[in-house]
Amino acid sequence: MSKVRVRFAPSPTGFLHVGGARTALYNWLFARHHGGTFVLRIEDTDLARSTEESVRGILDGMRFLGLDWDEGPEVGGEYGPYFQTERLELYHKYVQQLMEAGRAYECFCTPEELEAQRQAQREQKLDIHYDGRCRHLTEEQKGAYRAEGRKPVVRFVSEKEGQTEIPDLIRGSVVFQNSQIDDFVIVKSDGVPTYNYAVVIDDALMEITHVVRGEDHIPNTPKQIQLYKALGFPIPEFAHIPMILGSDKTRLSKRHGATSVMQFHDEGYLADAMVNYLALLGWGYDDSQTLFSRDELIEKFSLERVSKNPAVFDFQKLQWMNGVYIRELTLDEFYDHAFPHLQKAGLVPAEPSEEEQQLIKTVLKELQSRVKLISEVVEMSRYFFTDDFPYNEEAVRKVLGKGDAKGVLEYLRAALASVSSFSHEELEPVFNGAMEEFDLKLGKVIQPLRVAVTGTNVSPGIYEVLEIVGQQRTLARIDRALDWIAQGE
């Protein structure tokens, strides 16, 4: 096989979404696996919808996921430029070639006329195709249209006989009857090429060897193959990967939840988890492995093993996997990820002192096995960093509202006040004492204390919590809880 060159070619009309990210990932994995080149090309020929902001968003998404490109925006390369709007002369050159060869012609039909044609075809239940009426316009007729002020598009003279076969690494081969392919537009009236045309010129000129893209492009492919043939370009290999669907089995979109990669980042998903999950959405290795490091992915990925059927995006599984990756982080790494969230929430100073950092790490150590999203550290740790934490209404009512609570807390208040440190050794006898005093199980003693100190009935182990919160604040919080109980009486 000649040196592998693949590309990810998004159109900058929105942020990088998970579908695009997965396509980019598969291209990237394929390139890395074969020691090939991964090209990033921006398909911005839709002048009305393309924005620079989107370009930045896509680049940010790629960087977040760690999908580095060998050629493309910011890094350049020998096959540039990598923005289609900067390649206009190239496209025009080949349009000339096509026109001279009689494989393209100007069409002056207006959108309205075309719509009327389609409508008529629909009514007669005919196949909906451009009828080729402008194919043989005389110079005179063209002149007349121009005089009217009409701006022509350029259409490709498609082959109508026979069939076109798409060689597809994932699906075997897909065959289309050429009679289905009409004279499609390759240059719009504003002179900008259409997708189907530009993509062929670019993939050919950039010497792309494997076109890996979404299944939604299958119907475009025969058109593109005809173009390759008409232009005398070698035809690349194709691999059409399945769609990603939402839980209702329709194409994944915003209404199914977050789809922007950067939104996942903001919510506390780790790049490695995203990559691992996305890789598994439509690809599987064997009958047992689900966790793959990047290197393993590169080593084991192959297009042949990509699934043919569409995959439903499972937020729960992604979340589980994110939890797995969070637990694998070293404490320092977890700190680096969590700190911005804590800081943004105002729970920790922007530039914490050494002791403050230590405290944060002590807290995070307790949280690491409990969060599935990094962002969850904020609400899970609030009571460690501030006395201004909310009472979880239901938990408080359930635990502090019980008859035992008052007596237990009063007992603990006194006992804990007389202890010299909040170490496990000093604390344990206190709890034992309370258990005896009230003839309660440990849980019944601890829950009121937990709620008093954290405002909720779910927290890390009580010894850890008390040690971090410390004696003074613990006593104050017990007082607050006692007040709450008193108010209810």
Q: Per-residue b/e over 161-175, b at no fewer than 16 CB within 10 Å?
A: eeebebebbbbeebe
d(CA 364, CA 345): 15
Task: Annotate each residue in 416-455 with x if it binds RNA (CB under 7 A) or - if it does not, as one string.
Answer: -------------------------xxx--xx--x-----
**Min CB(188)–RNA separation in Å:** 4
Contacts with RNA in 25-54 (CB under 7 A)? 43, 45-46, 49
Contact call for residue 361 and RNA (CB under 7 A): no
**Min CB(125)–RNA separation in Å:** 5
Nearer to RNA, 243 or 275 (CB): 243
**Min CB(391)–RNA separation in Å:** 15
Number of residues that bind RNA (CB under 7 A): 87
**Closest-CA residue to 484 (of 365, 425, 402, 421):** 402
- Select from 51, 250, 432, 472 the one that contacts RNA (CB under 7 A): 250
Contact call for residue 457 and RNA (CB under 7 A): yes
DSSP, residue by residue, 241-290: EPPEE-TTSSBP-GGGS--BHHHHHHTT--HHHHHHHHHHTTB--SSS--
d(CA 406, CA 482): 7
- Select from 96, 141, 358, 369 the one that contacts RNA (CB under 7 A): 369
Contacts with RNA in 220-249 (CB under 7 A)? 220, 242-243, 245, 249
Nearer to RNA, 65 or 278 (CB): 278
Contacts with RNA in 389-418 (CB under 7 A)? none
d(CA 293, CA 29): 12
Q: Which two tokens stand for residue 315?
A: 């937020």
Q: Output DSSP code: residue 313.
A: -
Nearer to RNA, 429 or 461 (CB): 461
Contacts with RNA in 259-298 (CB under 7 A)? 280-284, 286-288, 290
Catalytic annotation on 254? yes
**Min CB(198)–RNA separation in Å:** 7
Q: Which two tokens stand for residue 395?
A: 């938990």
Contact call for residue 11 and RNA (CB under 7 A): yes
Return the percent helix, strand and coil in the chain, to nearest 5. 55, 10, 35
Nearer to RNA, 281 or 348 (CB): 281
Contact call for residue 327 and RNA (CB under 7 A): yes
Candidates 151, 229, 254, 344; catalytic one: 254
Nearer to RNA, 217 or 480 (CB): 217
d(CA 185, CA 300): 41
d(CA 93, CA 84): 14
Contacts with RNA in 160-219 (CB under 7 A)? 171-172, 174-177, 180, 184-185, 188-190, 192, 194-196, 215-219
**Min CB(233)–RNA separation in Å:** 19
Strand partners, 241: 214
With tokens 């394929």, the residue in question is 30
Task: Annotate each residue in 101-140 with x if it binds RNA (CB under 7 A) or - if it does not, as one string.
Answer: --------xxx--x---x------x-xx-x----------
Cβ count within 10 A of residue 386: 12
d(CA 64, CA 67): 8
End-to-end CA distance of the chain: 82
Q: Per-residue b/e over 143-157, b at no fewer than 16 CB within 10 Å?
A: eebeeeeeebbbbbb
**Min CB(114)–RNA separation in Å:** 5
Under DSSP, is residue 405 helix (H, G, I), strand (E, B) or coil?
Answer: helix
Nearer to RNA, 45 or 209 (CB): 45
Catalytic residues: 254
